[in-house]
Amino acid sequence: MNDTRNDVIDLLLRHRSIRKFRSDPVPDEHVRLAVEAGQMASTSSAVQAYSLIRVRDRATREAIAELAGPQPKVVECGAFFVILGDTRRHRIAAAREGNAYDQRLESFLVAAIDASLFAEKMVIAFESMGYGICYIGGLRNDTERADELLELPEGVYPLFGLCVGVPDESPSRRPRLPVESVLFEERYPSDEAVLHQLASYDEGYVEYLKARGVETPVAWSVQRGRAYAEPKRTHLGPYYRGKGADLR
């Protein structure tokens, strides 16, 4: 084995989501190289159930920035992408063979997993070149509108946006759950054990929020405990089903 702590791990640990970008463009050859690196991510049985669309057009970017928040960084960053779970190629291939495409949740889930493995690997390639990135989950606020803008056909599922560009800020590290809260041995722990681990995390999280100038910082587990009483993005299931995802 190589040295345990190495330059790659240092890069991985240095990640911060960047929300303020300089306007420098991201050259096509950098994008191409990052995509090629991302494509080497594992993919379930080589299905490669993902695609991405680079959006350069300013009006389209402005429309996505608006529906996602608004989030001006979608317009400001050097390169903006929409990441897609993609079963279109499979459906076209099936039609050409004269076969039906009859899949359930498995195929939608594989698309979401494949696209995410690809995106994270591509992101690390961009970061290794010195770029900053921010995923834009807010794309899912209005998938119908995003769909129209990008002319998505049946079998293509928009998952999230991605801003890439030269960072114009240097944010502090947002604390993650303690390793003990995510890495378990042999089986899933009891609720009591889970709650016990959250207490120390909550303390550190409040300190982090205070340091960022938040006036009334709320512990992570309290935030989470308030976040789920009302269903979020209820259009999402009907939208994906309308695009041909059978979620049974």
Positions in 191-210 near a copy of itself (CB under 8 A): 191, 194-195, 198
Nearest distance, CB of residue 227 and a copy of itself, angstroms = 7
- As a whole number of angstroms, the distance between CA 158 and CA 149 comes to 11
Return the structure tokens found at 229: 């009483």
Contact map string, positions 64 to 83, toward a copy of itself, x by CB under 8 A: --------------------
Return the structure tokens found at 190: 């009891």
Nearest distance, CB of residue 81 and a copy of itself, angstroms = 8
Residues 126-185 that bind a copy of itself (CB under 8 A): 128-131, 133-135, 137, 140, 149-153, 156, 159-160, 166, 173-174, 176-177, 179, 181-185
- As a whole number of angstroms, the distance between CA 132 and CA 24 comes to 12
* Residue nearer to a copy of itself on the CB measure, 76 or 85: 85
* Residue nearer to a copy of itself on the CB measure, 64 or 76: 64
Q: Which residues contact 108 (CB under 8 A, 6 or more apart)?
A: 85, 87, 157, 240, 245, 246, 247
**Cis omega before residue 238 (within 30°)?**
no
Nearest distance, CB of residue 32 and a copy of itself, angstroms = 6
Q: Residues binding a copy of itself: what is the number (CB under 8 A)?
A: 131
Cα angle 79, 84, 86; round to 5:
140
Choose one: 1-9, 67-75, 210-218; the region binding a copy of itself (CB under 8 A): 1-9
With CB under 8 A as the contact rule, the residue among 58, 100, 170, 215 that binds a copy of itself is: 100
Cα angle 73, 145, 35; round to 5:
55
The DSSP 8-state label assigned to residue 140 in this structure reads G
- As a whole number of angstroms, the distance between CA 60 and CA 180 comes to 43
With CB under 8 A as the contact rule, the residue among 40, 199, 211, 214 that binds a copy of itself is: 40
